[in-house]
């Protein structure tokens, strides 16, 4: 195998899992929803209030996608009226390091941009 083939294979092996992660976390709403749920189980309306700018339709879609991908659990209570809550799964907690890294980078980037040092 040539060196360029090895570099290409290595590049693909790095990019594939990154692409997989981005496919699950795509869009601007999933990470804010996860952050909102890190503070505990919440009802739909509570999440909607905490994630500023999201429409109810988009929130419903994102929560369904996140449930399919094992990031969020939907719990339906047998009450009248029916109470539905959402919570993070143990699998979603594996994103804590990613979220903290994004937060740190975002703070650093904001300071850089606001200082005019671009």
pLDDT in tens, the chain (118 residues): 566 776 888 888 999 999 999 989 998 999 999 999 999 999 999 999 999 999 999 999 999 999 999 999 999 999 999 999 999 999 999 999 999 999 999 999 999 999 988 7
Domain 28-115: give its CATH architecture: Orthogonal Bundle (1.10)
Per domain, the residue ranges of the chain are 28-115
**pLDDT at res. 91:** 96
Closest CA to 95 of 41, 31, 48: 31
**pLDDT at res. 95:** 95
Number of CB atoms found within 10 A of residue 98's CB = 13
**pLDDT at res. 4:** 72
User: What's phi and psi for 77, nearest 5 deg?
Assistant: -95, 140
């Amino acid at each position: 195998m040539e060196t360029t083939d090895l570099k290409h294979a290595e590049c693909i092996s790095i990019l594939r899992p990154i692409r997989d992660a981005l496919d699950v976390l795509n869009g601007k709403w999933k990470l804010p929803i996860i952050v909102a749920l890190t503070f505990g189980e919440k009802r739909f309306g509570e999440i909607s209030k905490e994630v500023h700018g999201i429409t109810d339709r988009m929130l419903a879609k994102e929560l369904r996608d996140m449930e399919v991908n094992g990031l969020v659990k939907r719990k339906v209570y047998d009450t009248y009226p029916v109470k539905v809550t959402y919570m993070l799964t143990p699998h979603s907690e594996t994103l804590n390091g990613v979220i903290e890294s994004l937060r740190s980078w975002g703070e650093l980037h904001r300071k850089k941009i606001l200082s005019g040092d671009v």
